[in-house]
Amino acid sequence: MTLFETSPSRVSRAADNVLTLDYCDLTVGGTTAADLYFYEAQLRTFRAHGLDRNPWDSAVQYKTNILDKDSFPPDSGFEAAFHFEVAPGFAKPSFAAVVERPHLYRVFINGRETPPEPGRWWLDKAFGVFSRGPWKAGQNTVLLKAKPFTIHTELEPVYILGDFGLKPSTPGFAVVPAAPLGFGGWAKQGLPMYGQAVAYVKTVSVPAGGLTGRRFAVELGRWLGAAAEVRVDGRPAGVIAFAPYRLEIGPLLAEGQIHEVEVRVYGTLKNTLGPFHNNPPLGRAWPGMFQQGTKGGRAAGPAYSVVDYGLFEDFVLKTRFD
Q: What is the pLDDT of residue 3?
A: 57
Q: Which has the minimum average pLDDT: 3-7, 97-101, 155-159, 191-195?
A: 3-7
Task: Tell me the whole-structure pTM to 2 decimals.
Answer: 0.94
Instruction: Mark 81-97 as b/e (b = at least 16 C-beta within 10 Å).
Output: bbbbbbeeebeebebbb
- Model pLDDT for residues 181-225, shown as the tens digit of each residue: 999 999 999 999 999 999 999 998 887 766 666 778 999 999 999
Cα dihedral 173, 38, 142, 77, rounded to 10, equals -170
Same domain, 7 and 103: no
Same domain, 206 and 139: no
The full length of the chain comes to: 322
d(CA 28, CA 146): 10
Comparing 132 with 17, the larger pLDDT belongs to: 17
Same domain, 186 and 322: yes
- Model pLDDT for residues 81-95, shown as the tens digit of each residue: 999 999 988 878 889
Q: Looking at the 3D structure of the chain, how many domains does it have?
A: 2
Same domain, 153 and 282: no
Same domain, 221 and 151: no
133, 162, 191 - which closes a domain: 162
Same domain, 186 and 216: yes
Mean pLDDT of 32-54: 95
Flag whether 169 is in a domain: no
Which residue range(s) make up the domain with 261?
1-15+181-322
If we measure between CA atoms, which residue out of 145, 140, 25 comes closest to residue 94? 140
CA torsion through residues 219, 222, 226, 228, sign: negative
Same domain, 50 and 145: yes
Mean pLDDT of 18-22: 98
Q: What is the DSSP string of 48-91?
A: HTT-SS-HHHH----TTTTGGG----TT--EEEEEEEEE-TT-S
Flag whether 93 is in a domain: yes
108, 133, 162 - which closes a domain: 162
Flag whether 170 is in a domain: no
